[in-house]
Structure 1
Amino acid sequence: MRLLSLLLGSAKKSTASTWLGVKRQVSKPKVKRTVTFGALTTGFGIAGYSLASAAQKYHFYPVVYTDEQIKEINHVESSIQGLNLVQELRRDPAYREIRIPFNRSRHGFTNNLLAGYGRVTVPPLVFYNKETTQVLAVAHIGEDVGLTDGSIHPGLLATFMDEVLALCSFLGLPNNIGVTANLSISNPSKAYVNRYYVLRSQLEWTKGRKAKVHGSAYMLPEKEGSKDSTCVAIADGLFVEPRFAKYLKHVIPFQL
């Protein structure tokens, strides 16, 4: 997908509630940006995959890492697998877990250029619930995508949120495929590199080939359980299924 514009908008007050131990913003806070996308959304990396003994196994195409990088990647993978939230979701029979290796396409953006050591370190864990129409992703963001102060550019968060919200829209669209018509996003707090993130989304309504989704992103504390997670992005997206969507099913590597 290609980010086409970031336009400043109005500010609104926000309140928070708790979902699976992660704070959720229920209305938009300050600094609203409107982002419009026109590319086909194929979702944040998804379909079944098991933990590999070497970091290269995380990639669809071969990638060469140093021993030190492999050690760090496997540490990140182990840490994600051990998160309390991940364990809780796996115990809940209403949720299904899906995942795919990186680099399914040599021309991909989030699944190729932004994938791997120092970026999106390992393929995100993705959980979805068809009954409640919720999708949740857990990811680690490395230091190579940070700004000079170690923060993550809001545009990068917008790209990740677009992926997760689009995947959630698939739960309500007739052919499980859609394009982003509009995405509005606000950033109440800065996000930083070398941290774990939870991105969650909720399908709000569908009407024919249109679907509206709300989502939010949270930066987990450096030490799990030491304090509350920090909300770093809140988004609302409108997704539309193309009229020819039934002919595009072969480009989606999974079915929800």
Structure 2
Amino acid sequence: MSSEINIFAGPIIEPDSPEDIEITTSLNSRFDQLEIVKKLREDPDYTEWEPYGNFTEEEKKHVFYNSKENTLKSVLYLGNGLDGWPTVVHGGTIATILDENMGRLAIENLPERTGVTANLNISYKARLGRDQYIIVEAKYDRLLSSERKAVVEAVIKDDKGKVYSEAKALFVYPKKLKLRTLGEKF
């Protein structure tokens, strides 16, 4: 008798197909019902925005920014196709999620609203499974930051508070490299 693991997640869904729209609509509905989303939407200190204004409504991620505390929270769904090992999200995917969210907060604090990642350190605390919502919480460190440098710390956790990854990063506004300004609500 042999055992096998089926790691095939099924066919790739065509963007904007009826199946894609149905799945996206379902995920957005589930997103709206998450306690963390309800709590953040009710908190007057947080402003919700959807990055990447050129994306369709269904494709956008949701970001909650608290300007008083200089914190940012994102709620993301991790679906199929992100595996590094069957059912476990690849570490590179986790690094990208952290870099994007921490960078978004750093840009809020850098001149010209732009910058680059200079250093990113990640501690992977637990295996992160796919097919779930995660919460990314990022906090700007005023004491370690300066006019051209932004230090940001972040965690990835689930809605029960279990921490999967922790990170600390340095973002800089280069003196000699001209970067495009990213504008509001990047």
TM-score class normalised by the smaller sequence = 0.7 to 0.9
Please tell me whether the aligned partners of residues 148 and 173 of structure 2 are also in contact (alpha carbons under 8 angstroms): yes
Whole-Å separation in 2 of the counterparts to 1:177 and 1:188: 30
Q: 1:185 to 1:66 in 2, by over 3 A?
A: same
- Cross-structure match for 2:8: none
**Match 1:142 to one of 79, 84, 100:** 79
- Cross-structure match for 2:157: 218
Matched-pair identity in % = 27
Displacement of 1:166: 0.8
Displacement of 1:92: 1.3
- Cross-structure match for 2:44: 93
Displacement of 1:100: 3.8
Whole-Å separation in 2 of the counterparts to 1:100 and 1:172: 17
- Cross-structure match for 1:160: 97
Counterpart residue identity of residue 214, structure 1: E
- Cross-structure match for 2:24: 73
Q: Does 1:201 align with 2:131?
A: no
Q: 1:209 to 1:101 in 2, by over 3 A?
A: closer
Displacement of 1:185: 0.2
Q: Does 1:254 align with 2:184?
A: yes
Q: Does 1:237 align with 2:174?
A: no
Counterpart residue identity of residue 164, structure 1: N
Displacement of 1:244: 6.1
Counterpart residue identity of residue 134, structure 2: Y
Q: 1:202 to 1:78 in 2, by over 3 A?
A: same
Matches within 5 A, 1:185-200: 185-200=122-137
Q: 1:178 to 1:68 in 2, by over 3 A?
A: same
Whole-Å separation in 1 of the counterparts to 2:54 and 2:89: 22
Corresponding pairs, count: 169
Question: What residue ranges of structure 1 are gaps of 5+ in the alignment?
Answer: 1-62, 105-120, 221-227
Tell me the secondary structure at the aligned position of residue 136 of structure 2: strand
Q: 1:102 to 1:193 in 2, by over 3 A?
A: farther
Displacement of 1:135: 0.6
Whole-Å separation in 2 of the counterparts to 1:65 and 1:164: 26
Task: Calculate the aligned-residue CA RMSD, in Å.
Answer: 2.3
Whole-Å separation in 1 of the counterparts to 2:37 and 2:121: 28
Q: 1:171 to 1:66 in 2, by over 3 A?
A: closer
Please tell me whether the aligned partners of residues 204 and 213 of structure 1 are also in contact (alpha carbons under 8 angstroms): yes
Displacement of 1:101: 5.4
Question: What residue ranges of structure 2 are gaps of 5+ in the alignment?
Answer: 1-13
- TM-score, with length taken from structure 1: 0.60
Q: 1:238 to 1:81 in 2, by over 3 A?
A: same
Whole-Å separation in 1 of the counterparts to 2:163 and 2:53: 26
Q: 1:245 to 1:136 in 2, by over 3 A?
A: farther
Displacement of 1:124: 1.9
- Cross-structure match for 1:126: 63
Displacement of 1:128: 0.5
- Cross-structure match for 1:171: 108
Counterpart residue identity of residue 124, structure 1: K
Whole-Å separation in 1 of the counterparts to 2:79 and 2:40: 24
Q: 1:101 to 1:179 in 2, by over 3 A?
A: closer
User: CA offsets per residue over residues 227-252 of structure 1, 9 Å max, x none?
Assistant: x2321110000010123688622xx2
